[in-house]
């Protein structure tokens, strides 16, 4: 009996040892390959199944739209609706109870695409957002593409065109459109994104193109670059849950429904903010107890033959003189801080007044934009760079009114009086 008991103990010991070795091997494998702590593996897999089941539930619906796209475009999905989708409670989507409306108000502060983005990010934390220091080559993003396709995640693909101001319009619109349609936002890497805190699901050009080619999707194009196209806020499903957004989408109306989400996603990095704050603090020390009014003057590319033939107009010297006069009358002790590529032209044609100072442009457009936005008030001329500095500002904004020739090729891109482009509350001169 004692011999049999010892044999049993030996067998148990051997199996226990083998089990421990298996755990160690699994731990080392997952840690080395995915950089995922083994302790969180079960949680990760569980969240992946939730995302998969949620997508399958949405795709099986008889309607042709995602649940969040029904009704007016200002309607927010809300956490209760998201929970109903996970549980397959499709009937609750159409009920607008007081509790749901309260949840929708609370949801205004959430991060865009939070649920699906967080699930995918948990799957591959060593891939998503990790770079080589230049924000140009995230590691092993082929695996990200495979996981997105495997999970059948409904996504909104967004590539970028243009420089900083254009990219910010395209980014902001995509953040809100993705959220309105309950999609995970996937961005194509752009150099301008390196200065944003937002680092979720930004793919290299190669990985983005691979996902675009392999993922069934529907392409959506804007009707005009600078007018609001309401149809983009309700992306038709047609049996395909993923979409691709094209165009400049330069209208504040695309992201007004989730303004706080957009501002959170588009926050500049601490380094950019610190550099800008240092510059503004030095200005306030130079001009104590003065109202600082930033002036952004853009001329060079708007004066080209192509720009003029297309109907673009740059602000004449008379506009800046009128705008400065407006602020001198409205506020006491004003100092104008001018940022421009051509200070000699401004001195010769606009002003040499003692209440004007010229600020040298930095080596970073985002620093210059942050500096302008942190001054007390702003005068802007044309273009999207000044637009975003003004949008980020908390002060009074004066915008040039006649920046296009009516009926021209460029002018046709705007709605009447450019009301879809010029932000409400700005003063036009």
How confident is the model over 5-62, as pLDDT tens digits? 556 656 666 667 677 677 655 555 544 443 444 333 343 344 444 444 444 444 443 3
**What is the enclosing helix (H) or strand (E) of 276?**
helix 270-286
pLDDT of residue 200: 72
pLDDT of residue 203: 82
pLDDT at 68 over 70: no
CA distances from residue 63 to 59, 67, 79 in whole angstroms, order as listed: 9, 9, 21
Paired sense of beta strands 243-246 and 356-358, if any: unpaired
Q: What are 220's strand-pairing partners? A: 245
**What is the enclosing helix (H) or strand (E) of 244?**
strand 243-246
CA distances from residue 171 to 120, 159, 174, 186, 423 in whole angstroms, order as listed: 20, 9, 5, 10, 17
| % of residues, the chain, pLDDT over 90 | 33
Of 56-60, 122-126, 144-148, 405-409, the range with the lowest mean pLDDT is 122-126
DSSP annotation string for 226-265: BS--GGGGS-B-TT---EEEES----GGGTGGGHHHHHHH
Domains and their CATH numbers in the chain: 41-265 (no CATH), 270-428 (3.40.50)
How confident is the model over 213-254, as pLDDT tens digits? 888 888 899 889 999 999 899 886 666 788 999 999 999 999
- The residue-averaged pLDDT of 112-124 equals 39
In this structure, what token pair is assigned to residue 122? Answer: 């948990």
CB 338 within 8 A of CB 297: yes
Residue for token pair 């209208």: 251
pLDDT at 323 over 80: yes
């Amino acid at each position: 009996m004692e011999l049999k008991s010892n044999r049993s103990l030996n067998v148990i010991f051997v199996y226990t040892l083998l089990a421990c070795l298996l755990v160690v091997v699994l731990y080392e494998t997952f840690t080395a390959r995915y950089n995922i702590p083994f302790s969180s593996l079960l949680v990760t897999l569980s969240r992946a199944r939730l995302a998969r089941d949620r997508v399958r539930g949405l795709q099986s619906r008889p309607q042709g739209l995602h649940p969040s796209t029904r009704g007016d475009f200002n309607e927010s999905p809300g956490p209760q609706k998201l929970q109903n989708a996970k549980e397959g409670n499709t009937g609750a989507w159409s009920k607008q109870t007081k509790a749901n409306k309260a949840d929708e108000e609370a949801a205004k502060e959430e991060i865009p695409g939070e649920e699906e983005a967080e699930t995918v990010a948990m799957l591959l934390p060593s891939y998503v957002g990790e770079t080589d220091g230049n924000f140009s080559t995230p590691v092993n993003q082929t695996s990200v593409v495979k996981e997105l396709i495997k999970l059948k995640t409904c996504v909104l693909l967004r590539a970028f065109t243009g420089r900083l101001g254009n990219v910010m319009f395209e980014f902001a619109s995509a953040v809100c459109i993705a959220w309105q349609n309950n999609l995970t936002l996937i961005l194509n890497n752009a150099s301008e994104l390196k200065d944003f805190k937002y680092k979720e699901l930004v793919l290299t050009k190669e990985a983005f193109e691979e996902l675009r080619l392999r993922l069934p999707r529907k392409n959506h194009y804007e009707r005009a670059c600078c007018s609001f196209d309401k149809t983009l806020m309700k992306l038709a499903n047609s049996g395909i849950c993923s979409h691709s957004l094209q165009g400049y989408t330069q209208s504040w109306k695309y992201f007004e429904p989730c303004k706080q989400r957009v501002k959170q996603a588009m926050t500049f990095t601490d380094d950019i903010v610190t550099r800008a704050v240092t510059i503004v603090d030095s200005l306030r020390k130079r001009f104590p107890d003065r109202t600082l009014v930033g002036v952004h003057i853009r001329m060079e590319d708007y004066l080209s033959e192509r720009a003029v033939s297309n109907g673009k107009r740059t602000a004449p010297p008379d506009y800046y003189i009128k705008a400065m006069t407006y602020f001198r009358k409205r506020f006491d002790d004003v100092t104008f801080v001018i940022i421009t590529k051509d200070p000699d032209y401004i001195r010769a044609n606009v002003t040499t007044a003692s209440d004007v100072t010229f600020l040298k442009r930095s080596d970073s457009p985002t620093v210059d934009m942050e500096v302008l936005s942190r001054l007390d008030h702003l005068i802007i001329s044309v273009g999207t760079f000044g637009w975003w500095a003004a949008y980020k500002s908390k002060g009074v904004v004066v915008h040039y009114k006649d920046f296009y020739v009516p009926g021209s090729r460029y002018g046709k891109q705007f709605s009447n009086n450019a009301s879809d482009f010029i932000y409400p509350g700005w003063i036009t001169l």
